[in-house]
C-alpha cells in the first residue's frame, strides 16, 4: 500500500489526497505523516507482527495511523466507533492486540475512558494512544506527531511480505459474535484495483466516504482513492443534511453507500435543489436496495446508479454496470467482477442449474485468508476446492445478472414452510407510509416461528395497522409468508454498513414482550 502512496506523492505531491471540507492533506503530506507515525509507533515498542487496533471516526488522522502500521510490519485491526465495552473487549482480547488507538469523547461517549477501564483486564495491551483529546495518565497522545512536518530522521521501514496478514477486520455481527477476517496486501489491493478498473475511476474523481473508515468498504474506498490518485472526501458520520451539503460543496463524483442513506437523502426537502452536477456514480451495497428506492434515486439525482454485492471476506464480487438498461437490472446486483469467480451451490454442494436458487460462493484474488483462530468457522466457510460460502442465496436471471433472494440464516420456517423476508419486504417498501421495514421470525410453540413485521413509519403519513398492510399486499401471496404481527418502531438496528441486525431486532421484541408480561 505504501508503494502506491509514495508513487502518488512523487507524481503529484501537492494534490489534495484527503479532505473533510474544512481541512485537508496533500499526497506528500500524507506520505510524510505516515512515516512519522510509523517511527513513533516503533519508538513506543510496536513492531513486526504486533496487532494494533484502531477505533477512530472518519478523521483525516485515520489514514496515516493505519498506513503507518504497514511500515513497521504490524497488523491493523479496525473497530467500529459504535462498539462498546463488551464488543471492544472481545476484539482486543481475541486479536491479542498490543496497541489501541482511539478518540476521547465522541458523540457524547468517552471512548478513551472505556479503553482505560478495559486495560486492566487485558495484560497484553501495552500501548493506549489517543487523538484529539486532552492528556490523560497512561495514554500517549499522537497529535504532535501528525502536527509536525517532513519525514522522520533515521527511520528504516520494515518490508512487509505481500502475502502476510496486514489487516484484520471483524464481521458486522448480524447473526452473533463477530469473526476476525484476515487480509494481506495480495488480497486487499486487488479489490480496490478491480473496482477502479471496472467503474473507470481515476485521478479526476472525488470519492465521498461517509461509510465508516473503520469498516471494510469505507477503508477500501480510501485505498481506491490513493490507488487512483483521486481525492477522498470524508464525512465524520453520515447525517443526511450535512452529507448532501458536502456532496455539493466538494463536487463529489463517486459515492459508495448503503440503501438506508439514500432513503434519508431522498426524504430531505432540499434534495431537489442541491447542486449535484458533478456526481456521476452512486454505488449501493451492504444490503439490498428496494427497487422503489433505486427508481426514486435515479429520478432525483444525475449520473449512474449501480448496485454492488460484496462482503468483508471477498471484496467486491458483482455489480451492475453503467451501460446496463436500468430497468432490466433493477433489483439485481449485476454481473461478476473482473477476475472474480461465482458459483451457486445447493445443500449438497453441487452447482445448481441456471435460473435456480443456490448459495452464492466466491473465489478470486480478493478472497480473504480465513478467520483468525477459528478453525471451525474456516471449515464451514470453504468448500473442499477452496470456494468461499457467503451464506447468501441467489439465482442468475436470463440476462446473466445475479439476484439475491435471501440469506441462509434469515430464512423463516413457519410450520415447515420456509420463506425469505426479502420478497415481502420489496413489496412493502412501495407503501407510501413505510420508511424502513424488516420481517423477522419470532419463536412460536406450535409452528416454530411466526413472521413479525417491524416498520419505521414515514413522517406525514398515517401509520397503517396490520390489516391494512395485509390488504396492501393483495391476495397474490401464500398466506404463510404474510406477517402475523406488527411492531412499529422509531428506528431499526442497522450495522454501520447498512445491514439490518435482525437478531438484535428479534431480541429487542422478545425483551419487550417479557417486560410487558411481567407487569
Question: What are the boundaries of each domain within the chain?
Answer: 2-16+23-160, 411-518
CATH number among 3.30.300.30, 3.40.50.720, 3.40.50.300, 3.30.420.40, domain 411-518: 3.30.300.30
Q: Is 67 helix (H, G, I), strand (E, B) or coil?
A: helix
**Degrees (nearest 5) of the Cα angle 238, 239, 244?**
100
Residue-level pLDDT at 174: 44
Following CA atoms 78, 80, 85, 87 in sequence, which dihedral angle do they give, to the nearest 10 degrees? Answer: -80
DSSP E strand stretches across 285-396: 304-311, 315-319, 335-336, 341-345, 358-363, 370-371, 388-396
pLDDT tens for the chain, residues 1 to 519: 999 999 999 999 999 999 999 999 999 999 999 999 999 999 999 999 999 999 999 999 999 999 999 999 999 999 988 888 888 999 999 999 999 999 999 999 999 999 999 999 999 999 999 999 988 999 999 999 999 999 999 999 999 999 999 999 988 544 456 789 999 999 999 999 999 999 999 999 999 999 999 989 999 999 999 999 999 999 999 999 999 999 999 999 999 998 888 989 999 999 999 999 999 999 998 777 888 889 999 999 999 999 999 999 999 999 999 999 999 999 899 999 999 999 999 988 999 999 999 999 999 999 999 999 999 999 999 999 999 999 888 999 999 999 988 777 787 888 777 777 888 998 999 999 999 999 999 988 778 889 999 999 999 999 999 999 999 999 878 788 899 999 999 999 987 778 888 888 998 999 999 999 888
The length of the chain, given as a count of residues: 519
For every residue of 407-456, which 3-state class applies, written as one string? EHHHCEEECCEEECCHHHHHHHCCCCCEEEEEEEEEEECCCEEEEEEEEE
Look-up of cell digits 497512561: 138
Kindly give, in sequence order, each residue whose CB lies less than 8 Å from that of residue 190, ignoring residues fewer than 6 positions away: 315, 339, 364, 365, 366
Task: Give the strand pairing for 165-170 and 180-184.
Answer: antiparallel
Put residue 315 in one of left, alpha, beta given phi > 0 → left and psi -120 to 50 → alpha.
Answer: left
Q: Are residues 362 and 348 in contact, defined by beta-carbon separation less than 8 angstroms?
A: no
Model pLDDT, residue 175: 45
Residue 17: which residues within 8 A CB-CB, separation 6 or more? 8, 24, 25, 26, 27, 29, 30, 63, 225, 226, 231, 232
Architecture of domain 2-16+23-160 in CATH? 3-Layer(aba) Sandwich (3.40)
CA 442/CA 115 separation, integer angstroms? 36
Residues 243, 159 contacting (CB under 8 angstroms): no
Residue the block writes with cell 494512544: 129
- Per-residue pLDDT, 423: 81
Inter-CA distances, 56 with 63, 96, 151, 185, Å: 10, 19, 24, 22
Q: Quote the cell numbers at residue 58.
A: 472518519
Question: Whole-prediction pTM value?
Answer: 0.84
Amino acid at each position: 500500500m505504501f508503494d502506491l502512496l509514495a508513487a502518488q506523492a512523487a507524481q503529484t505531491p501537492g494534490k489534495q489526497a484527503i479532505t473533510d471540507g474544512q481541512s485537508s492533506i496533500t499526497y506528500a503530506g500524507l506520505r510524510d505523516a505516515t512515516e512519522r507515525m510509523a517511527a513513533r509507533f516503533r519508538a513506543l515498542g510496536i513492531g513486526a507482527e504486533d496487532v494494533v487496533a484502531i477505533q477512530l471516526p472518519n478523521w483525516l488522522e485515520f489514514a496515516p495511523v493505519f498506513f503507518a502500521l504497514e511500515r513497521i510490519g504490524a497488523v491493523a485491526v479496525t473497530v467500529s466507533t459504535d462498539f462498546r465495552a463488551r464488543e471492544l473487549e472481545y476484539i482486543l482480547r481475541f486479536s491479542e492486540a498490543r496497541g489501541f488507538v482511539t478518540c476521547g469523547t465522541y458523540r457524547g461517549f468517552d471512548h478513551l475512558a472505556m479503553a482505560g477501564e478495559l486495560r486492566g483486564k487485558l495484560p497484553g495491551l501495552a500501548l493506549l494512544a489517543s487523538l484529539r483529546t486532552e492528556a490523560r495518565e497512561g495514554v500517549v497522545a499522537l497529535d504532535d506527531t501528525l502536527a509536525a512536518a517532513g519525514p522522520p530522521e533515521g527511520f528504516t521501514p520494515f518490508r512487509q511480505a505481500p502475502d502476510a496478514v496486514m489487516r484484520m477486520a471483524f464481521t458486522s455481527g448480524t447473526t452473533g459474535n463477530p469473526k476476525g477476517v484476515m487480509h494481506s496486501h495480495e488480497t486487499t489491493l486487488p479489490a480496490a484495483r478491480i473496482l477502479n478498473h471496472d467503474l473507470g475511476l481515476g485521478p479526476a474523481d472525488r470519492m465521498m466516504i461517509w461509510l465508516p473508515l473503520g469498516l471494510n468498504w469505507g477503508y477500501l474506498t480510501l485505498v481506491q482513492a490513493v490507488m487512483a490518485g483521486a481525492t477522498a472526501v470524508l464525512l465524520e458520520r453520515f447525517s443526511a443534511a450535512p452529507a448532501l451539503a458536502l456532496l455539493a460543496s466538494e463536487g463529489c463524483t463517486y459515492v459508495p453507500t448503503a440503501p438506508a442513506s439514500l432513503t434519508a437523502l431522498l426524504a430531505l426537502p432540499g434534495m431537489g435543489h442541491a447542486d449535484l452536477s458533478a456526481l456521476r456514480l452512486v454505488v449501493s451495497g451492504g444490503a439490498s436496495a428496494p427497487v422503489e428506492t433505486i427508481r426514486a434515486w435515479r429520478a432525483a439525482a444525475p449520473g449512474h446508479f449501480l448496485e454492488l454485492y460484496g462482503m468483508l471476506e471477498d471484496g467486491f464480487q458483482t455489480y451492475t454496470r453503467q451501460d446496463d438498461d436500468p430497468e432490466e437490472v433493477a433489483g439485481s446486483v449485476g454481473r461478476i467482477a473482473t477476475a472474480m469467480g461465482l458459483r451457486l451451490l445447493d445443500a449438497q454442494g453441487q452447482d445448481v442449474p441456471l435460473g435456480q436458487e443456490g448459495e452464492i460462493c466466491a473465489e478470486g484474488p480478493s478472497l480473504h485468508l480465513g478467520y483468525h483462530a477459528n478453525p471451525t468457522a474456516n471449515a464451514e466457510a470453504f468448500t473442499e476446492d477452496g470456494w468461499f460460502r457467503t451464506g447468501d442465496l441467489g439465482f442468475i436471471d436470463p440476462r446473466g445478472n445475479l439476484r439475491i433472494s435471501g440469506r441462509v440464516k434469515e430464512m423463516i420456517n413457519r410450520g415447515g414452510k420456509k420463506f425469505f423476508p426479502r420478497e415481502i419486504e420489496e413489496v412493502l417498501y412501495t407503501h407510501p407510509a413505510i420508511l424502513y421495514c424488516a420481517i423477522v421470525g419470532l419463536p412460536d410453540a406450535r409452528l416454530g416461528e411466526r413472521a413479525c413485521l417491524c416498520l419505521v413509519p414515514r413522517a406525514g403519513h398515517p401509520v397503517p395497522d396490520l390489516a391494512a398492510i395485509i390488504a396492501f399486499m393483495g391476495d397474490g401471496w401464500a398466506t404463510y409468508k404474510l406477517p402475523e404481527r406488527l411492531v412499529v418502531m422509531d428506528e431499526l438496528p442497522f450495522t454501520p454498513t447498512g445491514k439490518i441486525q435482525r437478531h438484535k431486532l428479534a431480541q429487542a421484541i422478545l425483551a419487550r414482550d417479557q417486560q410487558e408480561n411481567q407487569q
